[in-house]
Amino acid sequence: MKNNPIKFGTDGWRAIIAEDFTFDNVRICAQAVAVYLKGSGLTKRGLVIGYDTRFASEDFARAAAEVICGNGIRVYLCNKATPTPVISYGVIAKKAGGAIVITASHNPPQWNGFKYKSADGTSAPTEVIAELEKNIAAITTTGKISRIPLAEAQKQGLIEYIDLTPSYVEQIKSLVDLDGLRKSGLKIVVDSMYGAGIGYFKMLLDGGSTSLIEINDEHNPAFPGMKQPEPIAINLAKLPDRVRREKADVGIATDGDADRIGIIDEKGNFLTQLQVFALLALYLLEVRGERGAIVKTITATSMLYRLGEMFNVPVYETPVGFKYIAPIMLARDAFIGGEESGGYGYRGHVPERDAILSGLYFLDLMAKTGKTPSQLLDYLYSKVGPHHYSRLDIELAGEQKEKIISRVRDSSPEALDGVKVANKDTIDGFRFTLADSSWLLIRFSGTEPLLRIYSESDSQIRAERLLELGREIAGA
């Protein structure tokens, strides 16, 4: 085994199955969580453990449960593949000390991962991650791991097999007018991307004039027909065609663990994650009358600043990752927080990404306004002006990273695409903000071996040109 290959990135630790993501390493991570719980005085509250539909996720979850129980800590183990947001809410419902989630979220099929959720159901903040990694290093050195078979844990009353769905559904009923959505008559196509979100929209919306068609709704850890279960245009080959063929009002896609969402409009066009974020913020501000802060990552849309000005609400910016967003949401009473990945969280719920609630809010926006997704986008642009976004992902060998960082750090262009560079910052990667509010960002993914280049401008053509300039700056 490599010397301590476990490093937590933007959201948990992810690695290739059987290479670094092994049962031994999952047990090390679980023991590190047990040590953290003991040191934090949270052991009496127990721990939720859940998993997604990936290869052997249930087995990895059971291995983690053996370790937590072996440390004398009660485990609430999900009895089926469960969306990450349902597990996050389960922490609140069970008043647990946190959760382990076995998932690689949107990564390609050969990956799996280990996420840790804190006692408030959120992505663990940086100081908790630092402590877990310190524990992992110590355990890797000593090899000391306590574990007991689950049958023995059950005899000792240390494990409970649970279905977290009912408590989550009750929570959703308190946030969304499900009866109104069932009676809205919308025709919806849902792409569950073979992931943990299978069946949730159907369960929540069945029983009225609204009709729902679900595709890719069986467990298949190979995620056939897509590079990875990330709900962006390149991975949603079937959904636009099905929306057009069915003459549906909207298409909704959820990623592998159902914390990220993608939207297809009634014409079969993909709405970018930045457009969806702005529309959800507008819905909460204008339709529901919410007020409070907006929290966005550096990669999210500048449209939120315009909405903040219009509705007189503050906007806070963070590095990428909900481990940065959640603490500010809680501290500033934010009504929405989100990132470019398609993950959005809300006040009154868990300050964590939830694609199911996001999809329901988007449907409620359509139902309440009587507008189609394309009409909603036009309405948004009538308020904030046109904003177009693009992203380029480049696979890298490890030795290229330092060369690219050095090259971009030393780059100080006076103008990009004929517009003056007003500011360069290093909040997360390297961002160039132009005098007309367009921006270009070059950063490395925290979950995959990728260089990511992002841009937002007033036209798609300009956004694409900025991406190519970013590639030139990076030399990639």
Residue in this structure with the two tokens 């069915």, named with its chain if needed: 246
125 and 214 both lie in a single domain: no
Do the beta carbons of residue 53 and residue 219 sit within 8 Å? yes
340 and 422 both lie in a single domain: no
Name the residue among 53, 434, 449 with its Cα closest to residue 255: 53
Q: What confidence tier does 402 reach under pLDDT thresholds 50, 70, 90?
A: confident
Q: Is the pLDDT of residue 1 over 50?
A: no
- What pLDDT score does 3 carry? 63
Q: What would the pLDDT profile of 325-340 be if each residue is shown by its tens digit?
A: 999 999 999 999 999 9
Task: Give domain status of residue 5, yes or no.
Answer: no
Do the beta carbons of residue 390 and residue 471 sit within 8 Å? no
Q: What would the pLDDT profile of 277-300 be if each residue is shown by its tens digit?
A: 999 999 999 999 999 999 999 999
123 and 190 both lie in a single domain: no
Do the beta carbons of residue 199 and residue 219 sit within 8 Å? no
Q: Is the dihedral of CA 344, 347, 352, 354 positive or negative?
A: negative
How many structural domains is the chain composed of?
Answer: 3
What phi and psi values does residue 416 have, to the nearest 5 degrees?
A: -130, 130
Q: Residue range 45-63: average pLDDT?
A: 98
298 and 408 both lie in a single domain: no
Secondary structure class of 376 (helix, strand, coil) = helix
Do the beta carbons of residue 165 and residue 154 sit within 8 Å? no
- Least confident range from 138-142, 229-233, 392-396, 419-423: namely 392-396
175 burial level (CB within 10 Å; 0-12, 13-18, 19+): middle
- What pLDDT score does 340 carry? 92
Radius of gyration for the alpha carbons in the chain, expressed in angstroms and rounded = 22
291 and 267 both lie in a single domain: yes
Task: Give domain status of residue 2, yes or no.
Answer: no
CATH number at residue 266: 3.40.120.10
| Of the residues 119, 139, 167, the one at which a domain ends | 167
- What pLDDT score does 205 carry? 98
DSSP structural state of residue 287 = I
Q: What would the pLDDT profile of 160-192 be if each residue is shown by its tens digit?
A: 999 999 999 999 999 999 999 999 999 999 999
Give the number of C-alpha atoms closer than 13 A to the C-alpha of residue 349, restricted to the C-beta side: 30
- What pLDDT score does 401 carry? 84
Domain residues for the domain of 394 are 388-474
108 and 140 both lie in a single domain: yes
Name residue 349's amino acid.
H
Q: Residue range 81-91: average pLDDT?
A: 98
CATH number at residue 445: 3.30.310.50
Do the beta carbons of residue 388 and residue 456 sit within 8 Å? yes
Query: CB 378: neighbour CB atoms within 10 A?
Result: 12
| Of the residues 167, 193, 219, the one at which a domain ends | 167
160 burial level (CB within 10 Å; 0-12, 13-18, 19+): middle
369 and 395 both lie in a single domain: no
Q: What would the pLDDT profile of 406-448 be if each residue is shown by its tens digit?
A: 899 989 899 999 999 999 999 999 999 999 999 999 998 877 7
